[in-house]
Structure 1
Amino acid sequence: MTFADELAEPMWTEHGWTPRTARAEEADLAAGWRLTVSSRLPADPLVTAFADLAEFGAAGTVPSDGPYLIMVDLDAELADEEHRIVVEPTRCRLLAGGVEGIRRAVFWVEEMMLAAGGPYLPLGEHHRTPVITTRISRCFFGPINRPPANRDELADDVDYYPEHYLNRLAHEGVNGLWLTVRFRDLVPTSWSGPVAVDPARRLAKLRRTVAACGRYGIKIFLFCIDPAAFGDGPEYLVPSAALVDHPELGGHRTDRWTAFCTNSEPGAVYVRDTLATIFSEVPGLGGLIDITIGERPTHCWSDVWTGDPINCPRCGPAGVGPTFAAHLTALRDGVRAGNPDARVISWMYLPYGPEYGPYAGDGLADLVSEIAAHTPDGVTTQVNLESTGTATQYGTEFEVLDYSLAWVGPSELFERVAETMAETGGDMGAKLQVGCSHEVATVPYVPVPGNLFRKYTALHELGVTSAMQCWYFGNAPGPMTRAAGRLAFAPLPATEDDFLTELAAPDWHEDTPRMVAAWQEFREAYARFPANLLFSWFGPVHDSIMWPWHLAPVDQPITPSWQLGWPPSGDRVGEFFAPGFSFDEIVELVGEIATQWDSGWQRIADLGERYVQDRDRRRDLGIAEAMNLQWHSAHRTLRFHQLREDLGRGVGDHDQQFAELAELITAERAAALRLAELADDDSRLGFHSEAEGHKYHPAGLRERAVALQRLHDDDLVRLRARADDVGPLWPGWAAPEPDDEAVVVLADEPATATEQHLGAGGRWRTWRDGDELVIAASLPVSATEAADEVFEVQLEARRLWPIVPLRVHRDGTAYGSRRMLPISRDWAARVTTDHTRWEAELRLPFEIFKAPGMGTSYGFRFNVLHHGPDRSLAWVDRAEPLRPRLAFEGLNPANLGWVVPSS
């Protein structure tokens, strides 16, 4: 992480300007300038900006006592951050309504000189007005205060905000940074549980952080999901024992947790007093960002989007709008008691809508709009820009969910809420990703500023005034953050190309047209990103260049992209694309992205020699090339496994397949070695901010190159020698082995279906009914609630594809993982019961997993289970569950048997 030290280096060292004469339309500052500041301006807040201007001039060897005047003054007709620059032949006037407008004007003057390639300014008047007035980012390398590391930046002595890093952020338009806290860690109570670090120590560091950032016009926002609900499960809950002495704090109850009721006077007092204490103890805090619905349980209506009735005697009858108003009022009043200028941002984190219940479909937008309409003054309503958006690829409609930089948006949900806020006069905020996203977070930024132009154009049109520009990733300084800072102001450039030209000119000068063309090709490539959240979370683009390739299947899962501490990803590549995409479709789609990105890269590839001594530009080129390598690695990874599956099933020409495998391995090895060189030069490459470490790194890449050479020289040769032998390459992989007991022949009708045992007294069977697969079970009734007794089917359509659980409860309710693993909605379940037994029947179209027709010899794998009150019984029970992963639970492919056609 040498990049952390590099961020602390001075911004300006040596411009390397080539001397020239001023053009007719320029003011000439080459003889030096003199800064004069009106006495009406407070001096202290602008010390850093004026010092930066002096350092900027020194880096261009421009005297600071020259004849040209730069005059700084206030203009009562301008708003605080609004600014005008009036450039005349002998003087330049910087005018603004307040301190922060002057800061923006100073940086704009510097940018104009960078674009001119020397100390020259374009004559005339230049004017900018802020539209997105709150622009919040985050420390690129700061601790995330979450599992598994649980590192809290307020609990250590590391300086995450060195001055020159803050100066970079300020230049890029950032005026807010968020960090994660919990109420109880800053203001503990007798009932909220122990804290690991002295709260006074945390508050002291927070004060130092606020003061340091404030010198650069950057406010600190506290991010939390508070007040925490009560329960005895995850660590983010307050222990349930607290409710024994304080029952008045409890509200809506579920079988897992009890909400913290802020609609009670004691609850509201706790919130107000806690926040008043924090904001009084830490003067200058910018505000609070609180997830108020959709993530973890907090207040009584925080989980309302699931559709469950609210059983709190206060909040249930009050309704969602008034209850939210009371909750947000308590937050606001507490913050204002400590700092009247601080803001509360109510982040309604709703990445997707429920599939059932009152808030399915348009119901979610109705719900969120009603909440937004009750938002009190002084609170900003923030919604994810992309959540519940839809994109169609290869005939399948996908929910984009959230955190997409590739999909422009905004979603209809976001637009509905923005329209509501416009009608009520409230403040609307957007959560979006500026630098990079879950799609690929192992580069500091994805160079697609054209997408930001399109996103921010929509924000202007919708009246959005606040933007939270990142999650734990997406916040590295660079052209994307700078683009967002520019786009926060009006007027926007007339066209996207105009904007890209303005953005590129200060860095690329005569190479600007080539860089703009490359950016546009990158944007066109990135727009094809698979609209499937699992491809973002688990997909190969992050770090497949470090994944081991297994010529012999190992049937091991893909591991999360956003965490360290997992084994290397295995070979079950279908987990991040199927069944939404077929193997052919995903290979083709990722291949198109790689080809288009490479086309953009070839436009600028030869610039490396010109900028070899310019570290920043050299690394910008390195990021574009690293993305090119990662796209191609992702495509090769998919194609490698597709060829391996064809070999396992005996499909295709062996000679061609082995020749292509050899080419893939050779190309992957070369790519790993090249990426290692780039990562040697730029330690940001491979770093994932949420993982708090590197997903790839030079040493690992070189080790992978050695492993790939062995794969090519040894494993591939041995496999080729066996490939033409009689029999399957890997018995038991594409079809069951002859002695496998966990095999069921799919009957053609119920009468011929063989009955299988399922634990004590349970039976099940399966047959084909036309185009449907039928799985039926007869189970003894257990001594438990009907809703808690479950018949479960775990289906794997083809090897490497995700295991999809389908669950039918004894009360007739049914659930299948339709969102994360988007199978057909056409499957159905029916339950009948008497006093001693219950019958469950599932009907699924064969199309549900795009499984081959019955005319082939290929089957698919599955398991059936019966979950009772104190035990679970399974048809196949060979291995322990896997470590649970988001969306995949702990389903182990070792616990799957076979269904094979009758002929």
Structure 2
Amino acid sequence: MKTTRWMLGAALVASLVAGNLCRAETLPTGPARAAIPLRHFPDRLHAFVWRNWELLSLERMGEVLQTSPANVRDIGLSMGLPAHVRPPAEYQQRGYISIIRRNWHLLPYEQLLTLLGWDAERLAFTLREDDFLWIKLGSLKPTCAAIRYAEPNEATERRCAEIRQIVSSHFGEALTAPSKPRFEFFTETGPSAGAETGRRASRGGEEPIRFLYSYAGLFGDPLLHPELDPYPDVLLRRLSQSGVNGVWLHVVLSQLAPSDALGRPTVDHDVRLANLAKMVERAARHGIAIYLYMNEPRAVPASLLEGRDDLRGVRQGDHVVLCTSAPRVRGWITDSLRHVFSRVGGLGGVFTITASENLTNCYSHTRTAAGCPRCSKRSGPEVIAEVNAAIAAGVREGDPKAKVIVWDWGWPDGTPAGWGQPDWASRIIELLPDDVYLMCVSEWGKPITRGGVAGAVGEYSISAVGPGPRAQRHWALARKRGLKTLAKVQVNCTWELSAVPYLPVMNLVAQHCRNLSEAGIDGLMLSWTVGGYPSPNLELVRRFQQQPAPTVEQALSEVAEARYGSGAASEMMAGWSKFSDAFSEFPFDGSYVYRGPSQVGPSNLLYLEPTGYPSTMVGFPYDDVDGWRGIYPADVLAGQFEKIASGWQEGLAIWTRTLDKIDGPQQRANASSDLIVAEAAGLHFESVANQIRFILARNALRSGSLNRAERDAAVSTMRARAHAEIENAKRLFTLTRQDPRIGFEASNHYYYLPLDLVEKAVNCEYVLAELAHRRLD
């Protein structure tokens, strides 16, 4: 994940050092903290079986619990769970983050390793390298005792019977109704709904770049393990039909080159290049190019540079930069990329990030290069531009047709809404090579006022239509240099809400595209790891690559008629308008976008007692309202989500009425699919408001400062919100069973599974029962 603060990278390094993760055999712990009790279950044993029922075999669970599969099955059935179905091995290959997350508060490391079938080294690597997973998990491992099977006692049996009754009363036959398997979207066949084939040239015959991250993309090492295919043919075909002509791949340069910057041979680099060449060839058959993500050179453990002062740069924690002011390091970058691009023909190119969470050059994390004898005597812009020049030289020497895209992410720009003082960006742009593209986050710095609170968006916003002042300024500087320009945007979804494949806020997307078309941008990066699904949103983007570009109304009408038929297009467009107006109220703030409960929605539990846990980066929101709210008062935050939910319901009502008017089977299927996605999104917005109101009432009740009437009102609020959450969970359960895309995001896997929503109903009924017979103040 990209974050809006490079400091997270430093935090990651510090946390890994604190946890001794630098030794492969040691797993990080962070500060000791007791796991959160799950009081709605009889005990952790039953919670464990419930939470793994859909993902793992009875045998694997039994191995963890040191008991028989039959005993595991009996535990699940005693709580009213449906008959266990052995999940495919794919669930562990593509859902390991879901497994880790749902057992984080249940199992100690030893049992978690058994559950995963991994060794400690693999888990350590995953926590460190898999898109900031350790940060997402809170940079600490909750303290858990080992779980072992025990025969149920009378109290356990009684509680299991209560849970079984709750499950039956709320879900009944729906629990055993036919359901689409998770990850089914990777094997989906048939033409892309409403898509057109073929491409339309523009801008003098050269097709603008439109690239994104694969919805099937996995971190790890797919080039060494091609079975982890990040580009299934069905996905490539549908992306191509949706107007996408590029996908990007996360790589580490030292794994692709014959040796690293220290001269050590790289094992299996030739295997990775051979597999990359096969990927490139297969993607090309769909008209799609592969771009490599260059965030180089990666820092190395300090021990590797002992006695090598000629290569040592800035040190952070136990890692040291390979100083790019040293000619040998820059030479290695250029030579390595020359090797990759000469060996793998047809690569689209690279995009670079030179000031990110990862520690790379001596100025990648700091405004000074103190501690480096070379870079401390040079300016940051000079060093950053030089890194980009070394990358560009290698790409060009390997394949003159390949493109080099330089991203300004993290460059200080001299503005409070951007990356602060000093203004390095202007000077870096002056020093860049002549034949590169400059890419900027389009919406960055866009001023907004939501709920009466003034702010500015960073990245990952669809609710605020760009471009913003930072991008416009940098593009102007680039054009003055004669450089081409790209906009990095999100058109499907963002961390505003990423648990659906796309948000039907087409008016916002269309206006952003129209604005960029008028700005003369030469291409688009359409997503970071979030938002790579082939969707009507992408088809809308493609309309604006035509010359002349359509108006917003024309583009919306074209997509609506192609997708729903001319008879229903105007009413479906009216729904888009309602969704877009509602989403324009989103209370954007960096804290909420990363730490709020939008991603998990109705699956997030209600707690009668504060957990004391701080929310984490798109991992665990817990009950941390103060961590969620950012610049917004908590009451305003809740109010904004209530506005979104109310407006969203207006759009859903229009679509529901229109569905019966659509005649064509394909058009009706398209509308039905889009309605599921839209309804799921609306349930998330409603749930966020419910959770905030519940927690505020709980905290007020616990404060001891309320009079009798105020206490009664607080309890009434908690009850009402718990009941509302049961209904939200029940409806979302149905939708997730119909559509396996709901709840999934490529870099986080499944935020929740259907049974997590059943658990939420059990959790809420426990809360309601407790409210009925005990005081909370």
Taking structure 2 as the reference length, what is the TM-score of the superposition? Answer: 0.70
Q: Does 1:247 align with 2:299?
A: no
**Distance (Å, rounded) in 1 between the aligned partners of 2:678 and 2:602:** 16
> Given residue 758 of structure 2, which amino acid in structure 1 is its aligned partner?
R
Partner residue of 2:546? 489
Pick one of 571, 596, 604 that aligns with 2:623.
Answer: 571
Partner residue of 2:402? 342
Give CA-to-partner distance per residue, 1:676-698, whole Å, 9 cap, x none.
Answer: 1111111000012221x211221
Q: Does 1:705 align with 2:767?
A: no
SS at match of 1:489: coil
- CA distance 1:410–1:310, change in 2 (3 Å): farther
Give CA-to-partner distance per residue, 1:486-536, whole Å, 9 cap, x none.
Answer: 223332223x23221112111111111111111111111111111211111
Partner residue of 1:584? 635
> Given residue 601 of structure 1, which amino acid in structure 2 is its aligned partner?
L
Partner residue of 1:548? 605
Pick one of 718, 734, 738 that aligns with 2:773.
Answer: 718
**Distance (Å, rounded) in 1 between the aligned partners of 2:751 and 2:333:** 39
- CA distance 1:584–1:144, change in 2 (3 Å): same
1:209, CA displacement in angstroms? 0.5
Give CA-to-partner distance per residue, 1:288-336, whole Å, 9 cap, x none.
Answer: 1121224323223434xx4325665554555444444433222112112
Pick one of 268, 271, 275 that aligns with 1:205.
Answer: 275
1:373, CA displacement in angstroms? 2.0
- CA distance 1:554–1:195, change in 2 (3 Å): farther
Structure 2 alignment gaps of length 5 or more: 1-90, 92-180
SS at match of 1:397: strand
Give CA-to-partner distance per residue, 1:615-650, whole Å, 9 cap, x none.
Answer: 443221100111111111111111111222232231
Q: Does 1:672 align with 2:729?
A: yes
Pick one of 515, 524, 528 that aligns with 2:585.
Answer: 528
- CA distance 1:14–1:142, change in 2 (3 Å): closer
- CA distance 1:183–1:12, change in 2 (3 Å): closer
Partner residue of 1:416? 473
CA contact (8 A) 2:300 2:322 kept: no
- CA distance 1:13–1:690, change in 2 (3 Å): closer
Following superposition of structure 1 onto structure 2, how do residues 830-845 of structure 1 map, counting pairs within 5 Å? none
CA contact (8 A) 2:341 2:395 kept: yes
> Given residue 635 of structure 1, which amino acid in structure 2 is its aligned partner?
A
Partner residue of 1:619? 673
SS at match of 1:222: strand
**Distance (Å, rounded) in 2 between the aligned partners of 1:328 and 1:558:** 36
CA contact (8 A) 2:502 2:535 kept: yes
> Given residue 582 of structure 1, which amino acid in structure 2 is its aligned partner?
P
Q: Does 1:104 align with 2:199?
A: yes
CA contact (8 A) 2:445 2:468 kept: yes
Pick one of 236, 239, 261 that aligns with 2:323.
Answer: 261
Taking structure 1 as the reference length, what is the TM-score of the superposition? Answer: 0.61
> Given residue 678 of structure 1, which amino acid in structure 2 is its aligned partner?
L
**Distance (Å, rounded) in 2 between the aligned partners of 1:516 and 1:625:** 16
Q: Does 1:392 align with 2:478?
A: no
**Distance (Å, rounded) in 2 between the aligned partners of 1:502 and 1:175:** 21
Pick one of 206, 209, 217 that aligns with 1:142.
Answer: 217
CA contact (8 A) 1:442 1:542 kept: yes
**Distance (Å, rounded) in 2 between the aligned partners of 1:132 and 1:635:** 44
SS at match of 1:155: coil
Give CA-to-partner distance per residue, 1:214-272, whole Å, 9 cap, x none.
Answer: 011111001131112xxxxxxxx312244346433334566765433334331221111
Name the % identity. Answer: 29
CA contact (8 A) 1:549 1:571 kept: yes
Partner residue of 2:367? 307
Structure 1 alignment gaps of length 5 or more: 16-48, 54-102, 109-126, 146-150, 229-236, 723-728, 731-903
> Given residue 664 of structure 1, which amino acid in structure 2 is its aligned partner?
R
SS at match of 2:642: helix
More helix by percentage: 2
- CA distance 1:533–1:133, change in 2 (3 Å): same
1:441, CA displacement in angstroms? 0.6
Q: Does 1:643 align with 2:697?
A: yes
Give CA-to-partner distance per residue, 1:353-386, whole Å, 9 cap, x none.
Answer: 6899xx975x45x421221122212211212223
**Distance (Å, rounded) in 2 between the aligned partners of 1:660 and 1:317:** 62
Give CA-to-partner distance per residue, 1:697-742, whole Å, 9 cap, x none.
Answer: 2111122123223332x112113xx4xxxxxx43xxxxxxxxxxxx
**Distance (Å, rounded) in 2 between the aligned partners of 1:540 and 1:262:** 41
Following superposition of structure 1 onto structure 2, how do residues 427-466 of structure 1 map, counting pairs within 5 Å? 427-466=484-523
> Given residue 622 of structure 2, which amino acid in structure 1 is its aligned partner?
G
Q: Does 1:221 align with 2:291?
A: yes
Bigger shift: 182-191 or 616-625? Answer: 182-191
Bigger shift: 259-268 or 682-691? Answer: 259-268
Q: Does 1:11 align with 2:190?
A: yes
**Distance (Å, rounded) in 2 between the aligned partners of 1:560 and 1:420:** 34
- CA distance 1:632–1:130, change in 2 (3 Å): farther
- CA distance 1:648–1:483, change in 2 (3 Å): same
SS at match of 1:595: helix
SS at match of 1:104: coil
Partner residue of 1:33? none
Q: Does 1:505 align with 2:600?
A: no
1:144, CA displacement in angstroms? 2.4
CA contact (8 A) 1:375 1:426 kept: no
**Distance (Å, rounded) in 1 between the aligned partners of 2:405 and 2:311:** 23
- CA distance 1:539–1:461, change in 2 (3 Å): same
Q: Does 1:280 align with 2:342?
A: yes
1:196, CA displacement in angstroms? 9.5
Partner residue of 1:514? 571
Partner residue of 2:595? 538
Higher relative contact order (CA 8 A, sep 6+): 2
> Given residue 370 of structure 1, which amino acid in structure 2 is its aligned partner?
R
Partner residue of 1:605? 656
- C-alpha RMSD of the superposition: 3.1
**Distance (Å, rounded) in 2 between the aligned partners of 1:438 and 1:279:** 33
